[in-house]
């Protein structure tokens, strides 16, 4: 770190960071804030993780306002270039500088902590002497690996995602109440907003400023800073080709071996590593085929979904809009918040099987609309899944169709996805 920062310089950085942090717009109240309310009473370190720029710092800002009255806290961000190469041994200097500047406080808020090697020793030491920590980061593996060793059982994790449809409505100043789902003009307004949400996703800054440059920068930062630099990737162009291919083919089946051949990778392990890096950055999720045998689950084809719909048209310019797949991507992101999600295939296909607390909860099929051409296939897929896995609850999410039906003795509900999102 540019030698060691002298204490006066460090104080200047910390004072500027705190002032900028307090000026930060509170934004739309995040659903995750109520989770924090439950966890704040525990002495545990609260780890806030998630995709770059999806609102982690804003959540920290909301926590400071709600639970610390904008006063009783220390803040430091390691996204700041002036702190690059910061050494964990210097954490004491940070603490001393904070005390000299702001007096004694008992809560630390630290942004993008994974940029500091061995940060966990400092957190552990201060945690043991009674400090409360809120730390944010955008790399799943680093956070869990580092914290797992030093803070086993002493941290709770909250994952922040891009805006939900409800948060999006709040951003667009639409005051939603359940009655509107049943009124014509209410439904029309909700559907109009939903079409925007489906296409533009939930990345906060992009929705506020409307500039796609915001999204390109997030993606480039992930590929270059979080992946290439951190993992010492030599062939960045080849890695980019792989990501481009995967994102263009989101929701379609793939195997690591077919990717290896198609893109001329030397080994399957490289492909596997590159895919997992993108997952650790919270940018994609890889879904396995449901099987009771874990071994089979590992070797079967996978599918991949992108963390937010906004990135799909950005990275995959296609002239025709594929709304059905966008709907599916969105449905996956919502389902995966509460459940482990698999796909089902036995000659018939069902998009999602959701498992909560080891219970097969429901089978979900997603399509833009059920027509004479696809109805039989979609129903057969979901009913086959329900029958094989003994699942009671089956649902087909569409853009705007609604009915309850019985197919081969099974109850299946067909629902507009925007309605499902608001229930």
Q: What is the chain's mean pLDDT, rounded?
A: 94
Mean local confidence (pLDDT), 341-355: 97
- The more confident residue out of 154 and 283 is 283
pLDDT-wise least confident of 146-160, 203-217, 288-302:
146-160
Between CA 233 and CA 230 the distance in angstroms is: 8
- The more confident residue out of 71 and 148 is 71
Within this chain, do residues 413 and 364 fall inside the same structural domain, yes or no?
Answer: yes
- The more confident residue out of 54 and 146 is 54
pLDDT band (50, 70, 90) for residue 153: confident
Within this chain, do residues 73 and 173 fall inside the same structural domain, yes or no?
Answer: no
Domain encompassing residue 334: 320-423
pLDDT band (50, 70, 90) for residue 103: very high
Within this chain, do residues 155 and 34 fall inside the same structural domain, yes or no?
Answer: yes
Within this chain, do residues 154 and 174 fall inside the same structural domain, yes or no?
Answer: no
* 6-to-20, 93, 317 alpha-carbon distances in Å: 21, 9, 49
Within this chain, do residues 24 and 108 fall inside the same structural domain, yes or no?
Answer: yes
Does the structure show a pLDDT above 90 at 147? no
Within this chain, do residues 155 and 169 fall inside the same structural domain, yes or no?
Answer: no
How many structural domains is the chain composed of? 3
What integer pLDDT is reported at residue 126 of this predicted model? 94
Within this chain, do residues 36 and 135 fall inside the same structural domain, yes or no?
Answer: yes
Within this chain, do residues 178 and 38 fall inside the same structural domain, yes or no?
Answer: no
What integer pLDDT is reported at residue 110 of this predicted model? 96
- Percent of the chain having pLDDT more than 90? 83
Between CA 397 and CA 185 the distance in angstroms is: 22
Is the pTM higher than 0.85? The answer reads: yes
pLDDT one-digit tens code per residue, 55-100: 999 999 999 999 999 999 999 999 999 998 888 888 999 999 999 9
pLDDT band (50, 70, 90) for residue 4: low
pLDDT band (50, 70, 90) for residue 376: very high
- Contacts of 313-316 with C-beta under 8 Å, sequence gap 24+, read 313/199, 314/212, 314/215, 314/216, 314/219, 315/219, 315/243, 315/244, 315/247, 315/248, 316/244, 316/247, 316/248
Mean local confidence (pLDDT), 209-216: 96
- The more confident residue out of 331 and 179 is 331
What integer pLDDT is reported at residue 320 of this predicted model? 57
pLDDT band (50, 70, 90) for residue 319: very low
Tell me if 314 is assigned to some domain. no
Q: Who contacts 251 (Cβ-Cβ below 8 Å, separation ≥6)? A: 303, 304, 305, 325, 328, 329, 332
Within this chain, do residues 325 and 192 fall inside the same structural domain, yes or no?
Answer: no
pLDDT one-digit tens code per residue, 394-404: 999 999 999 99
Burial 281-318 (b: 16+ CB within 10 A, else e): bbbbbebbbbeeeeeeeeebbbbbbbbbbbbbbbbbee
| Structural domain ending residue among the three candidates 159, 184, 218 | 159
| Structural domain ending residue among the three candidates 100, 125, 159 | 159
Tell me if 112 is assigned to some domain. yes
Burial 198-208 (b: 16+ CB within 10 A, else e): bebbbbbbbbe
Beta-strand relationship, 393-398 and 359-366: parallel
Tell me if 324 is assigned to some domain. yes
Within this chain, do residues 184 and 113 fall inside the same structural domain, yes or no?
Answer: no
What integer pLDDT is reported at residue 362 of this predicted model? 96
- 194: tokens are 């939903």
pLDDT-wise least confident of 243-247, 268-272, 312-316, 408-412:
312-316
Nearest CA-CA partner of 363 in 299, 298, 307, 410:
410
């Amino acid at each position: 770190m540019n030698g060691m920062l002298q204490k006066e310089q460090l104080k200047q950085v910390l004072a500027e960071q705190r002032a900028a942090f307090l000026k930060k717009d509170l934004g739309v109240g995040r659903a995750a804030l109520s989770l924090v309310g439950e966890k704040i009473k525990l002495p545990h370190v609260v780890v806030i993780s998630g995709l770059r720029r999806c609102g982690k710092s804003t959540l920290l800002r909301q926590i400071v306002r709600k639970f610390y009255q904008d006063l009783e806290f220390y803040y430091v961000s390691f996204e700041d270039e002036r702190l690059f190469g910061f050494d964990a041994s210097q954490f004491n200097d940070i603490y001393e500088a904070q005390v000299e500047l702001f007096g004694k406080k008992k809560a630390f808020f630290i942004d993008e902590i994974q940029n500091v090697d061995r940060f966990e020793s400092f957190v552990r030491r201060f945690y043991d002497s009674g400090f409360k920590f809120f730390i944010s980061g955008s790399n799943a593996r680093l956070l869990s690996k580092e914290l797992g060793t030093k803070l086993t059982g002493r941290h709770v994790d909250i994952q922040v995602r891009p805006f939900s449809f409800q948060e999006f409505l709040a951003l667009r100043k639409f005051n939603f109440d359940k009655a509107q789902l049943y009124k014509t003009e209410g439904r029309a307004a909700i559907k109009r907003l939903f079409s925007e949400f489906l296409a533009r996703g939930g990345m906060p800054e992009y929705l506020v400023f409307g500039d796609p440059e915001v999204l390109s920068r997030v993606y480039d930062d992930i590929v270059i800073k979080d992946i290439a630099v951190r993992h010492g990737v030599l062939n960045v162009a080849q890695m980019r080709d792989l990501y481009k291919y995967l994102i263009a083919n989101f929701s379609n089946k793939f195997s690591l071996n077919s990717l290896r051949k198609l893109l001329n990778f030397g080994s399957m392990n490289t492909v596997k590593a590159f895919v997992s890096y993108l997952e650790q950055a919270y940018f994609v999720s890889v879904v396995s085929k449901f099987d009771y045998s874990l071994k089979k689950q590992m070797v079967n084809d996978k599918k991949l979904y992108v963390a937010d719909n906004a990135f799909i048209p950005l990275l995959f310019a296609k002239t025709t809009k594929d709304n059905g797949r966008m709907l599916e991507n969105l449905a996956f992101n919502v389902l995966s918040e509460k459940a482990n999600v698999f796909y089902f295939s036995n000659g018939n296909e069902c998009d999602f099987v959701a498992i909560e607390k080891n219970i097969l909860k429901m089978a979900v099929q997603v399509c833009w609309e059920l027509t004479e051409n696809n109805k039989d296939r979609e129903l057969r897929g979901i009913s086959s899944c329900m029958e094989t896995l003994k699942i009671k609850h089956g649902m087909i999410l569409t853009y705007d169709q609604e009915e309850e039906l019985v197919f081969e003795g099974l109850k299946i509900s067909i629902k507009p996805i925007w309605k499902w999102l608001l229930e």
